[in-house]
Structure 1
Amino acid sequence: MTTRILFVCLGNICRSPAAEGVFRALMPEAVTDSAGTSDWHVGEPPYGPMQAAARARGYDISDLRARQFVAPDFDRFDLILGMDRGNIDRIERLRPARSQTPVRLFTDFAPETGATEVPDPYYTRDFDGALDLIERAAKGLRQAILAGAAFKI
């Protein structure tokens, strides 16, 4: 069975495309996508400084394009990961009544960091710090999938 994972942030130009790029490098057999809870950047590539920071670490995210999270994503993915609590709340407001798809914070997979969210580098300007946390969470997510524990809420 192919694992289908959606990474979600606000604009889908920094955190979620970076998370998708990092995770697809770690686990290329998984089906990945990213989305934003806003429609501000639909169709745009990831933010230039995030692309540069990712590229410096060997991740090419230039092929990704922003899209908005939609309710049918609950049926398309096995796991939906939000970058912060605000995005989790916006995702949950769109949850269809019948959906059992787990929605979790991406940082749940990097508990050793003590982080409760991935700070938005569009505002903080700390693209490397965001990538440090994204890489740790992506490694933890891969381990959880391989151990069969990623989908437990």
Structure 2
Amino acid sequence: MSYRICVVCMGNICRSPMAEVVLRKTLDDHGLGDLVKVDSAGTGGWHQGGPMDARAAGVLSEHGYDGSEHRARQFLSDWYDRVDLVLAMDAHNLGALRRLAPDGADVRLFRSFDPAAPEGAEVPDPYYGEREGFAEVLEMVEAASKGLAEHLAVILR
């Protein structure tokens, strides 16, 4: 049985799919790809079925990642039955996810796994900004993904 993670942002077209793609590769690089299943979703469903934002996909591609197969989905409360860890991109998403969560659900901020990030650090939403915001998100996601992979290597091996 694999450990299951879902990364969640607002619409599942920018931050969470970037994190999903990066985290998958990071876990593979750490030899954990067969032990951990990574998914992503949004707290809202207005982009359901749509692709990743072109700016997010472009920044990923420039750094050797492939997000072309992503299709947006909405996180639903029954997903807690099949997910071990839910990672929110910001405090707003965290609050929405915790309101849906049953007792004992493991719901945290994604950047809580970045040892260099301050307590409560968020991944800001780049959607309404310029392309450089997506590059900043990628840096944050890569740092937190590395920390999460190191954490999982300890608890899953």
- State the TM-score, normalizing by the size of structure 2: 0.89
Query: Of the candidates 96, 116, 120, which is equivalent to residue 112 of structure 1?
Result: 116
Match of 2:136 in 1: 129
CA contact (8 A) 1:81 1:103 kept: yes
Q: Is residue 97 of structure 2 the alignment partner of residue 60 of structure 1?
A: no
Match of 1:138 in 2: 145
Match of 1:15 in 2: 15
Deviation at 1:18, TM superposition (A): 0.4
Query: Counterparts of 2:77 and 2:60 in 1: how far apart (Å)?
Result: 29
CA contact (8 A) 1:11 1:40 kept: yes
Query: Counterparts of 2:68 and 2:14 in 1: how far apart (Å)?
Result: 11
Question: How many residues end up aligned between the 2 structures?
Answer: 147
Query: Counterparts of 1:136 and 1:119 in 2: how far apart (Å)?
Result: 14
Query: Counterparts of 1:94 and 1:113 in 2: how far apart (Å)?
Result: 26
Runs of 4+ that moved beyond 4 A:
none
CA contact (8 A) 1:75 1:101 kept: no
Query: Counterparts of 2:39 and 2:93 in 1: how far apart (Å)?
Result: 16
Identity between Structure 1 and Structure 2 (%): 44
The worse-fitting range, judged by mean Cα deviation, of 63-72 and 111-120 is 111-120
Letter in 1 for 2:149: R
User: Where in structure 2 are the equivalents of 1:34-45 lying within 5 Å?
Assistant: 34-45=40-51
In structure 2, the residue corresponding to 1:148 is in which secondary structure? helix
Question: What do you get for the CA RMSD once the two structures are aligned?
Answer: 1.4
Query: Counterparts of 1:93 and 1:101 in 2: how far apart (Å)?
Result: 11
- Structure 2 gaps, min length 5: 28-32
- State the TM-score, normalizing by the size of structure 1: 0.91
